[in-house]
Amino acid sequence: LPMSGVGEILKAIGDFGPFQKWLVLLTLIPCLSVAFHQFCQLFMVVDVPHHCDTSWIRAVGPNLTQEEQLNLTLPRDADGEYEQCSMYSPVDWDLDSIVAYGLNTTQKCSNGWVYPSAEPPSLLTEFDLVCDRKDLNDIGQAIYMAGLLLGSMIFGPLSDRIGRRPVILISVILQGLFGLGIAFVPHFYVYMAFRCVVGASVSGITMTILTLATEWIGVSSRPKAVLSSHCCFAIGQMILAGLSYGIRNWRLLEIAGSAPILVVLFYIWVLPESARWLVTKGRMEEAKKLLQKAAATNKRSLPEGLLEGHGLPLPALTLTFFVLKLKPEKQIKSGSLLDLFRKKHLRKVTLIMSCAWFVNSFVYYGLSLNVTNFGLDIYLTQLAFGAVEIPARVGCIFTLQWFGRRKTQTVLLLLSGLVCLIITGIPEDQPLATTILATIGKFAASASFSTSYVYSAELFPTVVRQTGVGLCSMSARAAGILAPLVRLLGQYHEAIPMAIFGSAPVLGGLLCVLLPETRGTELLDDTEDGQ
């Protein structure tokens, strides 16, 4: 098979030498900012006490104390606290009449809300995400997830068409500019639009940079490379907990989280294209130069004949003739979305992996976005949720090698689902037990996510790899959009969301039993490759 020769050449020049380690290091830096954008909104909408603005009464009682004003203009709830979302309707009476007769007619807040003056500005206080506007918080999160979905649809096929490197650079520039732009938005709707673009760029970076790393690295080191970037994502979550604890002003927090990605612009000079992708496009000379550069960096001597097809024993000559002397018209044709469904074996892989990514993302975000509801300090919970991902991702490296991809994927999905189902039976007065179980669920879902990335990259052939992973990513993003909306079902019964988050990965895990094992196999390159 022509393209399998790239794997052979990578072995000759070192498939995880200094060149590849440098490449992996480059993939780690953007992962820190990805974690920030994924979860920063949780810390920008911290709940604070609030009440309707009833300053209308100051016109007739300019000397009223704050307490007297509230007492006259706000109704109280069953616990004796002032209502947060309703007020007494304003009247044209004088102050003595208001004090003597009291006000009885209530209405929704008509003149905005008042928040504690000591609180630093947050999304909630600046854009009044309270009462009737409270749902805008979840809608904003869902729109960011929609941006991730949009990015999957655009950047997956685009990087198969124009290359891995340009897509990564475009995504980094978009993320930096629009991330900084968010800090200066005047309206919440502009905020949501900018978040959507940032979401799309996050998709472009995560998918494409992992594919690039996978295509440069040998079979045995592939999981380590991909999963180390996932560990960096977990570290990014822990940094977010510290950053948001230290910077309570949401605009400054957004700048602190978005600006560092622009440092990555030096990638323009150092990031290599994928040699595998260049070969599929018939750009042999560029592929040769990159392979020679990799050999030099890895301090391996690459005989000139290996690239020219001269002066070598017959097997090597045959191999390299196919790899680097192919005529353009004999080139492997670029794959399309339809190719994923034409061939029976690819159709099965595509449908099951899409389902696995969907349920995985569903349970992951179901738990992650619930961080404010476990009853513990939000910053500590986020720190724990980030910290638990590191052993989950690192443990993956070993389980993938020992037990293979299929068993690992199946067991982890089943575990994350079962934990959520157990949570539904735990009484409300046991927050610690719920939090511990949720952390175990996050552990399993994170490890399963890492497995999905490695497994998908190995199941799809090179010509449709990015399109295939992009499609899986799209289904994961669709689940991400649904997750915050499913949480709204808790108003009917508190157990409903967790029951849904638990059932889905159990079904997905059982489907994964039908997939082929890819441990120790060479990457497929053409849709005709072995089934």
Q: Which of 305, 309, 302 is nearest to 325 (CA)?
A: 309
SS3 370: coil
Average pLDDT, rounded, for the chain: 81
The answer to whether residue 315 scores a pLDDT higher than 60 is no
Predicted pLDDT of residue 526: 61
Confidence of residue 210 (pLDDT cuts 50, 70, 90): confident
33-46 pLDDT per residue, tens: 888 998 899 888 88
The two tokens of residue 405 are 């991809």
Confidence of residue 469 (pLDDT cuts 50, 70, 90): confident
* 173 CB-near residues (< 8 Å, 6+ apart): 265
Supply the DSSP string of 423-446, one letter for each residue. HTTS-TT-HHHHHHHHHHHHHHHH
| pTM of the model as a whole | 0.81
**Nearest-angstrom CA–CA distance, 412 and 437:** 14
Query: 144 versus 104: which is more confidently predicted?
Result: 144
The answer to whether residue 310 scores a pLDDT higher than 50 is no
For the chain, give every domain's residue range.
Answer: 51-114, 335-530
Crossing angle between the packed helical segments 135-162 and 462-486, to the nearest 10 degrees: 180
The two tokens of residue 128 are 């009044």
Predicted pLDDT of residue 297: 80
Confidence of residue 529 (pLDDT cuts 50, 70, 90): low
Helix (H) or strand (E) holding 88: strand 86-88
Confidence of residue 378 (pLDDT cuts 50, 70, 90): confident
Query: 335-530, what's its fold?
Result: Growth Hormone; Chain: A; (1.20.1250)
The answer to whether residue 325 scores a pLDDT higher than 60 is no
The answer to whether residue 356 scores a pLDDT higher than 70 is yes
Helix (H) or strand (E) holding 86: strand 86-88
Predicted pLDDT of residue 528: 59
The two tokens of residue 315 are 């097997």
Q: Which of 513, 523, 508, 504 is nearest to 405 (CA)?
A: 513
Residue the block writes with tokens 């004003």:
69
Q: Rounded mean pLDDT of 376-404?
A: 85
**Nearest-angstrom CA–CA distance, 513 and 407:** 7
190-209 pLDDT per residue, tens: 999 999 999 999 988 887 88
Predicted pLDDT of residue 50: 86
Confidence of residue 2 (pLDDT cuts 50, 70, 90): very low
Judged by average pLDDT, the poorest of 50-64, 285-299, 305-319, 390-404 is 305-319
CA angle 126, 378, 86 (to 5 degrees): 45
Predicted pLDDT of residue 415: 94
Percent of the chain whose predicted confidence (pLDDT) is above 90: 18
The two tokens of residue 323 are 């790899």
- Kindly state the DSSP code that residue 82 receives in the 8-state scheme: B
Assess contact for 159 and 208: CB atoms under 8 A: yes
Query: 220 versus 235: which is more confidently predicted?
Result: 235
Predicted pLDDT of residue 334: 56
The answer to whether residue 331 scores a pLDDT higher than 90 is no
What are residue 116's phi and psi, to 5 degrees?
-55, 130
Assess contact for 129 and 85: CB atoms under 8 A: no
Predicted pLDDT of residue 322: 33
Predicted pLDDT of residue 302: 63
341-353 pLDDT per residue, tens: 877 778 888 899 9
Q: Rounded mean pLDDT of 95-99?
A: 82
Q: Which residues pair with 52 in a beta bridge?
A: 113
